[in-house]
Amino acid sequence: MRTNTGPATAPDDHLASLRAGLEADVRPLGDRYTDDHLPLDRLPEIVKTLRGHGYPMADGAPDEVAGALASEELARVFPSLEGCLMVSYACARYIAAAGPPGLRERAVPGLLDGRKVGCLASTEPDHGSNNAAMETRAVPRGDEYVVNGCKRWISNGDISDYAIVLCRVVAENGQEEIRPVIVERERSPYRTRDLPKLGLTAFVTSEMVFEDCRVPRENCLGPAGSFKNMQLVFRTLQWARCRMAVVSLGIARAALEASVAYARRRRQFGRLIGEFQLIQDKIYTMAAEIDASRLLIHRALTSIQEDRRSDREASMAKAYATEMAVRVTSDAIQVHGANGLSPDYPLERYFRDARALTIAEGTTEIHKLVVARSVLGLSAFQ
């Protein structure tokens, strides 16, 4: 966000208008569904409201940075909603780029307007970041693949209509390779259940079970296209990690803004606490880390937009921004003192929401190893 005092530019005006609309129409939803699931039947209406305020859907942002700035504003008032939409749009991006024509026509419009929900299913009960050990299998049978396996901790899983499922695909010659399979729930049913968690309660996280799930063969590209298709999967995951970092950024901004307002009105020892040096030190650190995270995120998204290899940039942005949000929300609680622990204030919710994001879309530790491998040229992975 720009903080200069010169004349506002068109992007600043747009973000100011978006911010005002979100404050009026979306923040009440964020407060209402703090620890409850957002009713799915309201999602199309909410998406329509967002569009009306200038929030760009996955097909509407002029560039990745503009989309991230808008997403930051939404995450500031309702991070669970931004998380839900972000994952659904990631699914839409993949299907639009790689899905068969009929599926693209059925799926993408609904995923963009909120009538349908998508997810990316990789993590398994016994295998988190270790995709090489994945057990979910897709076996050819006539004109279909039959998928069997279990995925866990999948964002949007319980409410999903479409799932991009990473599977160990068995070829006709018996060889296996990890590939994505697009599963349409209405035509290829799968079972799901919600998994409660510490924060971001309205952002559903789930277990998904595939039992003899029959998927059209065209929903899994053959060996000739698998390398290119996996590159697209990795690019989609990198984008999703950056946008998950944006959710953290929005939460941190909300915590900083609450802390600034509180420090300007709370008095102790006859002075505003904002005049105390240790409070000012916390405000500085919070503001600097938020700006640093934003720059890392925008760098990574620009790299993705320019179709460059971006695993290092995406992992650095995701790891730094999510851990930053934990530090900032923790300091915000400290600024508020005992009030920071009270549910009458939003700080404890911000902290819980931020803490959950250090796990989602790859743990901090995994992303550190990705970055260090790029820097050192040595891998910690066997």
Positions marked catalytic: 361
Q: Please identify which residue in the block is written with the tokens 């979306």.
A: 26
Q: What is the Cα–Cα distance from 92 to 110, expressed in whole angstroms?
A: 9
Cβ neighbours of residue 13 under 8 Å, at least 6 residues apart?
Answer: none
Q: What is the Cα–Cα distance from 12 to 176, expressed in whole angstroms?
A: 51
Task: Give the long-range contacts of residues 312-315, CB within 8 A, separation 24 or more.
Answer: 312/370, 312/371, 312/374, 312/375, 314/238, 314/239, 314/241, 314/242, 315/241, 315/362, 315/366, 315/367, 315/368, 315/370, 315/371
Q: Tokens for 298? A: 């925008």
Q: What is the Cα–Cα distance from 222 to 143, expressed in whole angstroms?
A: 12
SS3 154: strand
The radius of gyration computed from the CA coordinates of the chain, to the nearest angstrom, equals 21
Q: What is the Cα–Cα distance from 14 to 53, expressed in whole angstroms?
A: 9
- Residue 185: CB atoms within 10 Å: 17
CB 86 within 8 A of CB 248: no
Query: Measuring CA to CA, which residue among 159, 164, 162, 120 is closest to residue 42?
Result: 159
Return the bridge partners of 209, or none. 150, 191
Quick one: DSSP state of residue 380? S
Quick one: DSSP state of residue 127? B
